[in-house]
Amino acid sequence: MADGMDPQAAVPPTASLRFYAVAAKVEAATRAAELGFTMCNDTRTLVEYRQAALLELSPGRSPKLVAHSGLAESDPNTPYALWLSAVVARIAKRCENLPANARVLPLSPGMLDEELAAGWNEWLPPFVWALPLTSPEGAVNAVLLLAREQPWPQTLTSDSAEYALLQLGSLYGFAWWSLVARPSVWRRGWKALISGRKLRYAGAAILLAMLLPVREYTLVPAEVISTRSQVIASPREGVIHRMVVLPNTPVHAGDVLAELDDTILRNRLAVAQAELATASVEMHQAAQQAIETQNAKADLGLAEGKWRERQVDVASLQREVDKLAIRAPADGVFVYSDPDEWAGHPVQTGERIGLLADPHALGVRAWAPVGEATNLGQGAAMKVFLKVAPLSPFDAHLDYAGYQPVEAPNGVASYLLRGTVDGAPAGARIGLQGTARVSGDWSVLGYLLLRRPLATLRTWCGL
């Protein structure tokens, strides 16, 4: 030995040191490709072999070559890879039945069928160890094949490299399970749920929940209306001059609500009044002449008739002018749309302008879509949630439901519902909109959840 040489430098590292060196690389692997490369190439630092192949096992699929010694990437579709896949598929059951303390299978051509055994000498050396890589539950997720020309030992000691290889196989199995085969949180939860007693408990809980008694209900769009209202219509043909009262304003009986354009009528009234004045003068002159001459008495009768005719015309036109002011027939709230839309709007006799509603008699108008008409019986309970106060609902009851679908404001074919508000809710006023929940008969939760799917299924299959 040369002077100055460290005598410890010539001593090769022990099997345990080499084991820890490979284990450190396994721990550093973050991808399946890195882990497969370490298994097939760095295992050579622990034991000698000519070639190594890693094949992945997945449920319902054939084994797949994912890594090979000496290759950065492996092609699973080559003849060699397909032969290895068939070999591993053949020995998969044997690998699953190996004891936990000796997970190694000495592979030989006698374990294969004649077709696979015929290709052994072409693809593999004589001596092959198959190391199953298992999960913590014992499922085989991959198989590592190590092949060489020298025989593998039949017995192992605790300080031998082959014994360390078996321990490294367990580490490989856990690492591969963690990176590749580990089920997701959902899969683990589902597996725990369906296993054994938990599945029976869960099924019983779901069955009991489906049998819970609940009331059927339907959520429909709704608005607050008055149950006592009068239609305010135009008394004659004309043009709206202006709306005197703003929308939703309280009014008293006799108050002017709107005015029609009076230009033409007032001109006609002025002409009729002038004609009446002329007829009055003519009648006065005829009366004076009748005193002086007997023949003028006939003219007096004609003048008086003309004067009465003009009086009737003036009275008639005055009544028409009075009709230009549309007045409230009773106390209430005048409900209509935008005043600017009505100004200058031509109307016909009897055309609706608005509603005079009683603010103390509140009701609910709702539209139940045809597919949501759960229970439309008279007296059904209703709970109204206003958009302006969703946390303060109030109760109502259904008075009647239309039998013929109409188009709702949202464009959906619906049944018109009308109800009466119970009591006098503080936040309810005419015109507010929201959602009404119409309660139906008592049923079970399962029917309520499956009602619409069953109806859809019936439309498809016709049952």
According to DSSP, the β-strands at 51-56 and 64-68 are: antiparallel
The rounded mean pLDDT for the chain is: 83
The length of the chain is 463
Residue 51 pLDDT greater than 90, yes or no? yes
Residue that has been written with the tokens 């503080």 in this structure: 426
Nearest CA-CA partner of 129 in 112, 100, 152: 152
Residue 157 pLDDT greater than 90, yes or no? no
Residue 147 pLDDT greater than 90, yes or no? yes
- Please, which residues bridge with residue 54 across strands? 67, 144
The amino acid present at 276, given as its one-letter code, is: L
Residue 263 pLDDT greater than 70, yes or no? no
d(CA 328, CA 313): 27
Provide, for the chain, the percentages of residues in helix, strand and coil under a 3-state DSSP scheme, each rounded to the nearest 5. Answer: 40, 25, 35
Residue 9 pLDDT greater than 60, yes or no? no
Residue 5 pLDDT greater than 50, yes or no? no
Per residue in 182-241, pLDDT (tens digit) is 665 565 565 655 566 667 777 888 889 888 888 888 888 999 988 888 888 888 888 888
Q: How confident is the model at residue 297 (pLDDT cuts 50, 70, 90)?
A: low
Please check whether residue 138 is in contact with residue 100, taking contact to mean a CB–CB distance below 8 angstroms: yes
Predicted local confidence at residue 462, as pLDDT: 63
Q: How confident is the model at residue 242 (pLDDT cuts 50, 70, 90)?
A: confident
Structural domains in the chain, CATH included, are: 15-182 (3.30.450.40), 229-353 (no CATH), 361-461 (2.40.30.170)
1 or 201, greater pLDDT: 201
Predicted local confidence at residue 238, as pLDDT: 81
Question: Which secondary structure element, helix H or strand E, spans residue 369, and what is its range?
Answer: strand 362-369
Predicted local confidence at residue 312, as pLDDT: 81
Q: Which residues contact 425 (CB under 8 A, 6 or more apart)?
A: 362, 392, 394
Predicted local confidence at residue 154, as pLDDT: 85
Per residue in 302-314, pLDDT (tens digit) is 777 787 887 887 7
Q: How confident is the model at residue 127 (pLDDT cuts 50, 70, 90)?
A: very high
% of the chain exceeding 90 in pLDDT: 19
Lowest average pLDDT, out of 253-267, 327-341, 377-391, goes to 253-267
Predicted local confidence at residue 49, as pLDDT: 93
38 or 271, greater pLDDT: 38
Per residue in 84-102, pLDDT (tens digit) is 999 999 998 888 888 877 8
Please check whether residue 446 is in contact with residue 211, taking contact to mean a CB–CB distance below 8 angstroms: yes
70 or 323, greater pLDDT: 70
Nearest CA-CA partner of 217 in 368, 362, 363: 368
Residue 358 pLDDT greater than 50, yes or no? yes
Predicted local confidence at residue 1, as pLDDT: 38
Backbone angles phi, psi at 161, to 5 degrees: -70, -35
Nearest CA-CA partner of 404 in 414, 395, 396: 414
Transcribe 202-267 into DSSP letters: HHHHHHHHHT-EEEEEEEEEEEEEESSEEEEE-SSSEEEEEESS-TTEEE-TT-EEEEE--HHHHH
Predicted local confidence at residue 365, as pLDDT: 92
Predicted local confidence at residue 265, as pLDDT: 64
263 or 246, greater pLDDT: 246
